[in-house]
Structure 1
């Protein structure tokens, strides 16, 4: 059974009161890890990523019956998760009156002290390079590089044109290359 069929079945079951909880459990099993990893790459900290993942699925629970199915379910979930990440990072900056470079410095410190980070030194350097990117550029890079999403899929998630995404990804790659060369 393909993903679209599975998603249609989950949605059909969710819309029936008798199987709503079962369907949501299936949705969680299918997408929770992917959503968590998208969020974790953006906010770095496990506890923050865990909290945001929970918030995403609370929103999904409250809004899934309104999902119009004009995109894939995972696209809709990624859109919610992406917006939650961007809002979280923006609130963090405003809450602590931190300039963007201080937030990046804090996240870099979390990367280095994170016992859950299993990457080698090169991977750590890449993660630090990603922290130098604007949040939306980092989001596009993560979706394209790590999640291997097509530009069309990313466009559906972010509501951005394919051309703009290609330019954003290109700029992100150039900034990462420059960071890696100069450190």
Structure 2
């Protein structure tokens, strides 16, 4: 039995669940944090979304069928939680999702956890101009260096579509950065 299979079995076992969940959090916390952070931008908001993601994982692990990797399943939950967060923030503020992203980028420089330079801000502004799906694909490939195969599993789409989407997104980002 491989380690992922064992971890899943332990997560579904009442007696081993807490220890297994702590192991799961330790193993995936950082990767999921950065995935979410590239979407919502703010450290504090990322922490909130990450916590919601792990709550959902904990509550729904018994329904995990193993059709995909555990990592892919959790990434999908994190992605959906981040999108829901952005949608809710937009609704609360009565502005568009794009305006929420613009505000988040504008606040990046004030974020004590942001260590980027001006070029990082410009890159974030460029990414924010992309359609939502291209943003996701660009962030997952560029920042997290995910393989197209894993991205296809997470986003439930073909590798070819992802390669095309990433190529188009890269060209748009490059044009924005060079012409801004």
Pick the TM interval, shorter chain. over 0.9
8 A Cα contact 1:86 1:135, kept in partner: no
In structure 1, the partner of 2:130 is 133
In structure 2, the partner of 1:79 is 76
In structure 2, the partner of 1:53 is 50
8 A Cα contact 1:140 1:165, kept in partner: yes
- Comparing 51-60 with 62-71, greater Cα deviation is found at 62-71
Distance in 2 (CA, whole Å) between partners of 1:100 and 1:84 is 14
For 1:96, which of 88, 93, 98 is the aligned residue? Answer: 93
TM-score (norm 2): 0.93
The 5-angstrom pairing of residues 26-45 of structure 1 reads: 26-45=23-42
Q: Which runs of 5+ in 2 are unaligned?
A: none
Distance in 2 (CA, whole Å) between partners of 1:101 and 1:69 is 35
Q: Does 1:182 align with 2:175?
A: no
8 A Cα contact 1:104 1:132, kept in partner: no
In structure 2, the partner of 1:167 is 164
Distance in 2 (CA, whole Å) between partners of 1:52 and 1:100 is 16
Partner SS for 1:18: coil
For 2:119, which of 112, 117, 122 is the aligned residue? Answer: 122
* Offset, 1:35: 0.8
* Offset, 1:120: 2.5
8 A Cα contact 2:98 2:128, kept in partner: no
* Offset, 1:98: 0.9
TM-score (norm 1): 0.91
Q: Does 1:113 align with 2:99?
A: no
Q: Which runs of 5+ in 1 are unaligned?
A: none
Aligned residues: CA RMSD: 1.5
